Chains A and B, each alone.
Chain A
Amino acid sequence: MSEKDTFEFLLNQLEIIVRKLEEGDLSLEESKKLFLEGVEIAKKCKEKLSETKLEIEDISKELDFDNSI
């Protein structure tokens, strides 16, 4: 998974967009574009939260083979 796919990265992007819009000195077109971007990112965030399944791996096998510390 690349860094850009992580939840943390997406949430951070959303935060940046909210800040930019808060500053308010953008053109109408720019702000609209930014807002739509925000909606897309929020959607991705929520998809990640709802659809990602917990992954569990048991690495104990490696332990059995390694009897030295």
Chain B
Amino acid sequence: MVFKEENNYSRIHATFSVGELSEYIKNTLEKSSHLRNFEVIGEISNHFQSSSGHNYFSLKDEKAVIRCVMFRDASGIEFIEDGQQISAEGYVSFYKSRGDLQIYVNKVQPEGIGSLQKNFELLKTKLESEGLFDVSRKRNIPQYPQMIGIVTSKKGSVLQDIINIIKRRYPLIKIKIADTKVQGKEAAISIVKSIKILESEKNIQLIILARGGGSLEDLWPFNEEIVAKSIFASKVPIVSAVGHETDVTISDLVSDIRAATPSAAAEIVTPDIKELKNIISQKLYDSLNNLEFILSKKQSVAEITLDRLLNNKPEISNSENIINLHSNSIRNSFIQILEKSYFQINSLENSLRTLNPENVLNRGYSIVSNKKDNQLITKTDRLKVGDLLSITIKNGELEAKTTKINNKKTKENYE
């Protein structure tokens, strides 16, 4: 490549090979700060999607046309359709091997600020009037589920997060996964298919519909009518967990339970194994206490009867020895029976020690019960603000008052 001194004698300022020129154009374009990151508004035409999922199209207005390429992981691919007015974000570069100047689009939004939001509100009003959000049709989920389905993408961390939490909280479950597109043009159809196939699986008791956080465009498939209708029609309850806590989608509104996040969904559908173990220990301790009570009651009845028998013995002297002898052997055999029972209970108590909740207390946990009825508190639903609590810790007991109740779950949906 030869650059010439700029002077008035020569019209030619540089000599390039084609490759050099292309390279020079590319560099020049990429050096411009305005062309490095900008927004452009136009109408889509000549849209073509390659087998690898990348999108090629032109953006045009009345005066000009410019080529665009949008890679498959870009945001807003579902809005790419011929005739659609969009605003595209991206940068300009020069594709040397074809001599094309093109926009590399990172993000696409339908033109007109809030047009998605408007669509959302319209659909929401429509579906609400059709009864899709009725609280009365929300179904409960089983307390101890055995088989659940998950509709989500196998890529990304959402699925693994859900599996990890379920594994930790309640591994007594079988999970069936339907790998699903959760973003882009085909996502809505893919979600509908997955729900359909999972709900018809035998023994599936509920379906979690999950996707990680994203923009309104990213979450758009969960605001589509066909998805809403398929949730509504599902034979099994659906727990919707789309995006972050602040994102509310149509899917959230139609589903039987809305979880704030995918992780929250995993917690909502499973009981906690630690709590369950404590409950079982507590039940055994209650049984043991009851058994001891029954035993002591029987013992006092027997002793009173025995005393009455001995005090009311007949005043016949020659039979007195015989009766004494008899009553002694009655007393002895009675004592033997009692001792045997006590021995059995003691050995049961020993074998129960491994299940002792105190072992849990020693590790720093505490047991909270309602002061009023001594019921263990495992859920918030029986508690009111102001209720007195009794908290058992390692070396004593505390009394506390409920000042605030934060539910992890939507109240009306979960019990």
- The interface of chain A, by Cβ under 8 A from chain B, is 1, 6-8, 11, 14-15, 17-18, 21-22, 24, 26, 28, 31-32, 34-36, 38-39, 42, 45-46, 48-49, 52-60, 62-63, 66, 69
Contact = CB atoms under 8 A, between A and B. Distances in A.
Contacts of A22: 286, 290
B383 interface: no
Interface string B334-345: 000000010010
Contact of B280 (A14, A34, A63): A14
A62 B194 CA distance: 10
Interface of B: 142-144, 146, 154, 163, 166-167, 171-180, 189, 192-194, 196-198, 201, 273, 276-277, 279-281, 283-284, 286-288, 290-291, 293-295, 297-298, 341, 344, 348, 351-352, 355
Contacts of A18: 283, 286-287, 290
State the main secondary structure of chain A at its contact with B: helix
Contacts of B166: 54
B178 A60 contact: yes
3 closest A-B pairs by beta carbon, nearest first, are A60-B179, A21-B290, A8-B144
A52 B171 contact: yes
Contacts of B287: 17-18, 21, 34-35, 38
A42 B355 contact: yes
Contacts of B341: 28, 32
8 contacts: A15-B283, A22-B286, A49-B276, A53-B171, A59-B197, A60-B179, A62-B197, A63-B194
A2 to B, nearest CB: 12
Contacts of A35: 287-288, 291, 348
A54 B280 contact: no
Q: Which of B198, B273, B297 has the most CB of A within 10 A?
A: B273
